[in-house]
Amino acid sequence: MKERVVADLHEKLKNVKFAVLVDYSGVNVEQITALRNKLREVEAEFRVVKNTLMGIASTGTDFVILEEHFKGPMAILMNYGDEVRSMKVLVDFAKENQEVEIKAGMLDGRFLSREELNVLAYLPGRDILLGKILSMLVAAQVSLVNVLSGVPRSFVQVLEAHRARG
């Protein structure tokens, strides 16, 4: 049974690019269930894991860098979608439940401190950032068209002025 849990967790840790370790002590089952449901909506999973099993499962993955944080009651948030959205859900939950402590995280093999994770939670979502980039690209094209059309327009105005005088 434990071997299957470790193997399953190991596969998830190999494939997930963003995860957060959370100390959930003092949180009841109903609260954790509510958090899990909210996280499922944003393509993330919240899983309570024993430290020894987490240590074994993280071997051979990028999550080894978080090993020093495998202490006390621990859960892991594994994200499969937009990192910002799942982090916002977790930070909001931690604000409502003071017992919850966000320990550390990992994004694309890079260690993230608690402070960096909080900053991530306040970034605009992926869709908003993509919309801003798209609007900048469209604005650049519109500006280019206006600049390029200015030369022929000026030329036509000069010709019209010459015709009117003449």
Q: What is the pLDDT of residues 82-131, one digit of tens each?
A: 888 899 999 999 999 888 899 999 998 899 998 898 888 877 767 777 78
Say whether pTM exceeds 0.75. no
Same domain, 111 and 148: no
Same domain, 51 and 108: yes
pLDDT at 139 over 70: yes
Same domain, 139 and 84: no
Same domain, 33 and 52: yes
CA distances from 12 to 3, 6, 93, 108, 157 (A): 14, 10, 23, 14, 67
Same domain, 87 and 146: no
Give pLDDT, residue 140: 80
Which residue range forms the structural domain that includes residue 136?
Answer: 125-166
Same domain, 25 and 95: yes
- Pairwise CA distance, residues 74 & 67, whole Å: 12
pLDDT band at 76 (very low <50, low <70, confident <90, very high): very high
- % of residues, the chain, pLDDT over 70: 98
pLDDT in tens, 15-40: 888 999 999 888 889 999 999 999 99
In sequence order, what are the residues at sequence separation of 6 or more whose Cβ sits closer than 8 angstroms to the Cβ of residue 2? 53
Same domain, 90 and 164: no
Same domain, 147 and 157: yes
Same domain, 26 and 59: yes
Same domain, 86 and 135: no
Give pLDDT, residue 131: 81
Give pLDDT, residue 166: 67
Same domain, 149 and 94: no
Give pLDDT, residue 46: 94
Same domain, 6 and 88: yes
| Angle of the 83-96 helix axis to the 114-121 helix axis, nearest 10 | 110
Give pLDDT, residue 21: 94
Give pLDDT, residue 90: 93
Here the CATH number for the domain that contains residue 116 is 3.30.70.1730
pLDDT band at 44 (very low <50, low <70, confident <90, very high): very high
How many structural domains is the chain composed of? 2
- Pairwise CA distance, residues 18 & 108, whole Å: 6
